[in-house]
A = this chain, B = another copy of it.
Amino acid sequence: MSGATNTADWIAVDWGTTRLRAWAVAPDGAVLAEAAADQGMAALAPADYEPALLDLVADWLGPGATAVLACGMVGSRQGWAEVPYAPVPCRPLALAPVAVAGTDPRIALRIVPGLCQDRPADVMRGEETQIAGVLAAVPGFDGVLCLPGTHTKWVEISAGEVVSFRSFMTGELYRALSAATVLRHSTGPGWQAEAFSTALADTLSRPEGLAARLFTIRAEGLLHGLDPAAASARLSGLLIGAELAAARPYWLGREVAVIGAPALAGRYAEALMLQGVPARREDGAAMVLAGLSALHRSRGGAA
């Protein structure tokens, strides 16, 4: 045991709908090791969470209880344990993680609460930690965060607080349309930048046309042999364009940062650039870790 080089001071966990990701962190904040598995909320019953985590991190555990700080859907009703939402406005860096009782004695689990908004009704779980990471990494950030993903979030930040936010089902719409509708016959792997930007401009200027333009993808495939890569890029452009049209009050004339996986965040940054909005970009995984680290430190690392 004394020879283990990866024994963690504490463990950071990002546990979403489809994926579980963990980092072994040293006392000085350095990452000693990381691991991931396709063991997201969608694949797990409540009793499965603890074994799934222990499978992934057992090698990092020292004597006594190792602190584990987790965020994401792990704290939802279908998660390991339901943790309440904190209502906005609120300070992400002041969120108080909730201890989950009755865990294996080798770990001491706490889960970061999500955020909720009364009107318009909205919720997030996981993004609040990325936001905390941005605020820790860029103190004094004032402006708008865009966090693209299954349910993309647009978040208004002022004086260290989340003032308001809005979720768009763009990512899930893309997946459902390209997998579960007639468009599955027309879309395919690959990308075509011009098809993306043209479609983006189409729905940004006339968002009401979305439902008709979707079927046009299929019809152009049948009649004009539309390339499957162009079809995918066009579908993405139509949906992101419709989202940008609705989110215009968030980004127009504002300082915007896009936080997410590089490929998807790149599409959003490109879309914003085409509207004359240069967006800062941050890696989503790095911001989750920064947020978990900040929240861990603010509680003195107590298990």
Contact = CB atoms under 8 A, between A and B. Distances in A.
A169 interface: yes
Contact of A212 (B167, B179, B224, B239): B167
B208 A167 contact: no
Interface stretch (A20-28, A119-127, A271-279, A294-302): A119-127
A246 interface: yes
Interface in A154-182: 166-170, 172-173, 175-177, 179-182
Contact of A123 (B116, B122, B183, B219): B219
Contacts of A211: 168-170, 173, 239, 242-243, 246
A37 to B, nearest CB: 22
Contacts of A98: none
A210 to B, nearest CB: 7
A207 interface: yes
A18 interface: no
A29 interface: no
A264 to B, nearest CB: 15
Given A121-B219, A122-B219, A169 B208 contact: no
Given A121-B224, A214-B169, A208 B242 contact: yes
Interface of A: 77, 85, 116-118, 120-123, 150-151, 166-170, 172-173, 175-177, 179-183, 207-212, 214-216, 218-220, 222-224, 239, 242-243, 245-248
